[in-house]
Amino acid sequence: MAHAEGQQHPIGIYLKIWGLLFILSAASYLVDYFHFQGYLRWFLIIVFMLLKAGLIVAVFMHMLWERLALMYAILVPPLLLLVLMGIGALEADYTFFTRGVFFLEQLF
């Protein structure tokens, strides 16, 4: 019976991931606290964010132990958001440019 199988793992793994998430959160807070700027700041923020997200999905949400069919069905579609992000960035750049032109014309 499929229903008899639950996700059963030793408690220790949750405690370890919990600790790891605490460390990563503290690290991302310190990025702000020590005023890192520019590419270093963005790089660190993104790295810590993706590590935390990965740990939560993989262990807390048990994705690590699911079958590949479920993994791909859930994790691949959100990648489409990267396309939306690209389109958004292009559009925002253009809007910024036209606003710049418009406000400059008003000045002179």
Partner 1 sequence: MTQAIQTDTVEPVPLPEGLQGIVADWSSDQRAFKKVPWGKAMMWIFLVSDTFIFGAFLVSYMDVRMSTTDPWPNPSEVFALTLWGHKIPLILIAIMTFILISSSGTMAMAVNFGYRKDRVKTFVLLLITAALGASFVGMQAFEWTKLITEEGVRPWGNPMGAAQFGSSFFMITGFHGTHVSIGVIFLVIVAIKVMRGDLDRQRPGFLTGRKGNYEIVEIMGLYWHFVDLVWVFIFALFYLW
Single out the residue of 38, 84, 105, 108 in contact with partner 1 (rule: CB under 8 A): 84
Closest to 63 measured CA to CA, from 83, 78, 85:
78
43 to 23, 26, 38, 57, 75: CA distances (angstroms):
17, 16, 9, 21, 23
Single out the residue of 38, 39, 68, 107 in contact with partner 1 (rule: CB under 8 A): 68
- Decide: helix, strand or coil at residue 67: coil
- The counts of H helices and E strands in the chain are 4, 0
Q: How far is the CB of 43 from partner 1 (least distance, A)?
A: 12
Phi then psi for 104, rounded to 5 degrees? -65, -40
Single out the residue of 39, 67, 105, 107 in contact with partner 1 (rule: CB under 8 A): 67
Asked whether position 85 contacts partner 1 by CB under 8 A, the answer is yes
Interface contacts to partner 1, rule CB under 8 A:
2-3, 5-9, 11, 14-15, 17-18, 21-22, 25, 28-29, 31-33, 41-42, 45-46, 48-49, 52-53, 56-57, 59-62, 66-70, 72-74, 77-78, 81, 84-85, 88-89, 91-93, 95-96, 99-100, 103
